[in-house]
Amino acid sequence: MSLVNPYSQSLPQSKSSTASSIATNSSTTETTGNTFLDSVKLQETTEETGEIKNNELTQADFFALLSQQLSMQDPFEPVDNDQMIAQMASFSTVDGISKLNQEILNLNSVMSSSQALQASGLVGQKVLIPSDTGHISAEHSEIKGVVSTPSPVDTITVSVEDETGQVITTFEVDGSAGGNIDVSWDGLDKNGEPVEEGLYSFKANGKVDGKAEDLAVSTYAHVTSVSLGSVATGAILNLRGIGGIQLSDVLAVAES
């Protein structure tokens, strides 16, 4: 035995009238008279239609919320003036910090471009870098560098090694003056023959206070171009046969 609902036998609505009703409801937005609630309802309607709204609060949104807070407050316990001023001051502070961050980013971009422009004057020059490796080529057949000693050394022994670590030649320089001692290698091996193009390293040692110690070596390299780099790295100097190095790592600049 089946039960039949008597109300289910009412006349069905036409498809056209139903579609018209749905279209009317979807295109008409009911308002409540409350600005805040209406704005929330409007946002929900916008999201349903697939439109994307920025969720970041602006100063206008803040004052709209503040106005709603004031209009809906308890008249017997109104918002304290100090509290309202503190809210406004907090928002102004956050807004100011956001603008300051943007200005700092813009300033960093300008400084990076300015630094790269200044560094472009080093193209074609030699720079002293904190590396013991130099480059030999047909156009530049010698490597110059600096050996740093903590105290005067009678004799500094400099060994030149190729990329495999094999000693190409050895020579001595006077280190009695102490400090930074200039060294130079003409690109010839121990038999007086020119070496092949490539990278070669200086290894220096000497007796400091009667004990043999390895000494720090820096070499000169030719700047071929300058890259802008990033805010973190700054300008990058591209060195012939060696690669890139940050401008801040350059120890000295010499004539080409």
CATH code (residue 234): 2.60.40.4070
Query: What is residue 81's predicted lDDT score, i.e. its pLDDT?
Result: 64
| pTM across the whole model | 0.56
Amino acid at 116: A
Q: Is residue 57 part of a domain?
A: no
Q: Can you give the residue range of the structural domain that contains 214?
A: 121-254
| pLDDT for 35 | 59
Give the confidence band of 223 by pLDDT, cuts at 50, 70, 90: very high
With respect to residue 199, please indicate whether it lies within any of the assigned structural domains. Answer: yes
In a domain, residue 145? The reply is yes
- Whether 94 is in a domain gets the answer no
What total number of domains does the chain contain?
1
Percent pLDDT > 90 in the chain is: 29
| Tens digit of each residue's pLDDT (9 = 90 or more) over 26-43 | 444 456 555 545 555 555
pLDDT at 68: 75
pLDDT on residue 124: 86
Give the separation between CA 150 and CA 155, rounded to whole angstroms: 14
The pLDDT, as a whole number, for residue 176 is 87
* Alpha-carbon torsion angle 196, 125, 205, 162, nearest 10: -20
Is residue 211 assigned to a domain? yes
Q: How far apart are CA 74 and CA 155, in angstroms?
A: 90
Q: Per the domain annotation, does 36 fall within a domain?
A: no
Looking at the chain, the number of H-run helices and the number of E-run strands are: 4, 11
Residue 185 has pLDDT above 80, yes or no: yes
Q: Which tens digit of pLDDT belongs to each residue from 128-165?
A: 999 999 999 888 889 999 999 888 888 899 999 999 99
Q: What does pLDDT average to over the chain? A: 75
Q: Across residues 182-196, what is the average pLDDT?
A: 92
Which of 153-167, 188-202, 242-256 shows the lowest mean pLDDT across its residues? 242-256
Q: Which residue has the tokens 């439109």?
A: 51
Is 135 within a domain?
yes
Q: Does 64 map to a domain?
A: no
So what's the pLDDT on residue 151? 86
54: pLDDT strictly greater than 70: no
Both tokens assigned to 19:
């579609």
